[in-house]
Amino acid sequence: MQSHFIQVPYYQHERRIRVLLPKNYHNEPWERYPVLYMHDGQNVFYSKESYSGHSWKIIPTIKQHQEFPKLIIVGIDNAGEKRLDEYGPWKTDTGVGAVAHAGGKGMDYAKWVVEKIKPFIDSHYRTKADRQHTLLAGSSMGGIITAYMGAAYPQVFGHLGVFSLASWFSESAFMHFIHHSRLDRASKVFIQVGTNEGDEVDSHFISNMNQAYIDCTLHYYQALLRTGHPLDHIRLKIMANEIHHEMHWAEHFVEFLQFSLMSK
């Protein structure tokens, strides 16, 4: 695991990114690798750092599945108390109280990842830098910024993992953008949501949050189909009783990688 600190221009601070290299990376200097970029980097690798106390279990998962193509995984830390702002491309239209005006920095964040983080990774590591070998994944607000970035930069990101999509945060603006965007037809989109996603924090935004997550997920799925994206390049998983938690996102991580990198 290697750590770097990259300047964030719109917040004027440095942000940690961590890079998990495949086994034997340093012993096989001729090899180049696909790259998976993941939001909420604090939650990706180690449970002791995760907000929920449970990480995505990336390291043991990779070790247990030797059949996976080797890849580089980049965890980009979130902005802490400014996370909602940074992962929301548009201001929320549902918040109340302290979160009434959250969001609006997501486009800056996306530009930073595309123009600073990805070039840094491609220049410092032996990557396959083309879109077909560049993956992006995130959950909740990380899901909305993943879906946004995939649509905004289809020439950069080839495959998307959209877990527990929180597009209810700014549903009208999000859906308008998706309806007027086009993914590359070769892109694969893995979409997962549970039927029991709502939590106390979300109650500041909207009632009946369990249904909101399902509805937003279906709206996104249907919008992709309406824009002409091939059905066999979308995988939708609606999971009974699964909650809004890294435990479940970790359970689907294997299928996301298999669908993105190993299926035709």
Give residue-wise pLDDT tens across range 208-264.
788 889 999 999 999 999 999 999 999 999 989 888 777 788 889 999 999 999 866
Query: For residues 138 and 36, what is the distance between their CA atoms, to the nearest angstrom?
Result: 11
Per-residue pLDDT band for 7 (boundaries 50, 70, 90) equals very high
Q: For the residues of 139-162, what is the DSSP string, one character each?
A: ETHHHHHHHHHHHH-TTT--EEEE
Pairing status of strand 35-38 against strand 134-139: parallel
- Domains and their CATH numbers in the chain: 2-262 (3.40.50.1820)
Query: For residues 155 and 203, what is the distance between their CA atoms, to the nearest angstrom?
Result: 36
Per-residue pLDDT band for 37 (boundaries 50, 70, 90) equals very high
Using the structure block, give the residue that is written with the tokens 């410092």.
124
| pLDDT at 191 (0 to 100) | 98
Using an 8 Å Cβ cutoff, are 76 and 37 in contact?
Answer: yes
192-210 average pLDDT score: 74
Using an 8 Å Cβ cutoff, are 198 and 207 in contact?
Answer: no
> Model's pTM, two decimal places?
0.94
Q: Answer yes or no: is pLDDT of 115 > 90.
A: yes
Using an 8 Å Cβ cutoff, are 37 and 113 in contact?
Answer: yes
Q: Answer yes or no: is pLDDT of 96 > 60.
A: no
The residues facing 139 across adjacent strands are 163
Per-residue pLDDT band for 203 (boundaries 50, 70, 90) equals low
Q: Answer yes or no: is pLDDT of 53 > 70.
A: no
